[in-house]
Every structure is written in structure tokens, then in C-alpha cells.
Structure 1
Amino acid sequence: MRKNDSFREQLRRNSVALISLAVALAGLGYNTWRNEQTEMNRNVRHAAFEMLVRLGELQQVADHLHYGNDPEQGNPITGWGFVAVIRDLAMVMPKPVQESSGRLFKTWEAHWEGLGDSQKSIQAITDAVAETRASVVSELEALK
């Protein structure tokens, strides 16, 4: 009985220290989780803004190539660079953005040669850019 009383007595005497330890561990756990969440949000935010810039530039390349017949500003090689960067940046984004950027890449691949000649091509590319932009903006709005 003495051992049991001794343990209870020690528990009573050290209760403040034990509670402090529990609070410190809980705080450390929360702080670690919060830092990871903040870093993830920062990465998504940075990639999203970069993607929005590249999407605008890709749309300009497509428009110059289709409507302006301007080989310098509407260079398809530049367009390929933009869709590749957009697809690569989507790797750090949530699944909906990855999927829409993959569709954008496939759309560019299928339709870039029709730019300048085919209204269907410019419309398909414009729609894919708009879809990707909408998914990026949606993910930005969802950040906490």
C-alpha cells in the first residue's frame, strides 16, 4: 500500500510539470503541423501564380499565331515551352489542376498545327487554357 501511496503522492506533487509537458508536446505537434500546412500553401500559391502568368502567355502565343500570323510572337516553340512549364508546375498542385493541365498539354499537342487555319484549333486551345485557369483560381480560393 505504501508504494501505491508513494506513486499517488509523486503524481500529485508533479502534476503541474506533467500538465506542462503535455501542453508543450501538444503545442509542438500543432506548430509542426501548421508549419507544414503553411509551406504547402506557400508552394501551391507560388505555383498557381506562376501558372496563371504562363497561361496568359500561352493564350497570347496562340492568338498571335492564329489571328495575327505573327511568327515571332506566335512562335509554336514558345507555346510548347509554356505548356511544358504549366504541366511541370502542376506537379505541386492538387489533383484537379494536374488533370486540367494534362488536358491542356494534350490539347496543345493535338491542335497547335491548326492555329492560323482552323477555328476549331484556336477554340480547343482557348477552352483548355480557360479550364486550367479556372481550376488554378479555384485552388487559390480554397487555400487556408
Structure 2
Amino acid sequence: MTSLVLLPPDAAFAGYIDTTPFWSHARERKLFVQYCFDTDRFQHPPRPVSQYTGSRNLGWREAIGRGRVHSWIIQNGAATDDRVSHRPTLVDMDDGFRFLSWYVGEDELQHGMAVVVSWALLADGRSWPAFTNADV
């Protein structure tokens, strides 16, 4: 069997958006998300301007790391295919933004199910926020 190799969605756009705060805090297993200071709201994915106001008054803040399953994708693969052990999942975060990642728990996913950030180790040594059942 091959080992599980998880690669994150391409979150770094060289010269476009500096995602250093996301990655540096992820090393500490803290979920930092871009934040609009004009509206006191998170926005994800990161953008060069606020999705709410168009201003550049943006920074990064730590998110709670809890949310509820909005939707997910069912992947079909051979029983020996390690890649089916994670499921792409869209989560409505309690902080008011949506986050696309993976569900890495063993439970059956359900719409509205409470989830919490759990950290997946990527092939290059970085940590990526994935989700598990919050009620377990």
C-alpha cells in the first residue's frame, strides 16, 4: 500500500497575496484567516481587497476552528487506494466564513454535523487544517 500524500489547495499566490501568516500559524496548529477590519469579519479564501467593502484594511486573526458541515464530495476508489481516506468537505465555520478542506474522521458525514479543526501533516512537512467530528 502507498502512503497517504495530502497536498493542500494552492493557497500561495506568489506576488499576489501573502499567505505567510496562515502557514506560520499552521505550524503551531492555529487557524489564522484573513480578516476585514472595516467590517470585523473573516473572509476566505484570502483576497487582495475586502469582499465586503473593497478596502485594503485587511489582516489575519485566529479563528475558533469549529463549524458545521455544509457539503462534501464522495470519492470512489479501489479498496487499496489510500486517497479515499479523506473527503473534500465544505464547512460553515462558526466565525462566519466557509472553509474548504478535508474530513479525516471515520464517522459518516451529515449535513449540519459539528466539526472541529484537526491538523493533517502534508507531504512537505507543513500542517493543513482538516476536520473531524466535534462530538466525539
TM-score range, shorter chain: under 0.3
**Which has a greater percent of strand?**
2
- TM-score normalized by the length of structure 2: 0.23
Structure with greater Cα Rg? 1
**Which has a greater percent of helix?**
1
- TM-score normalized by the length of structure 1: 0.22
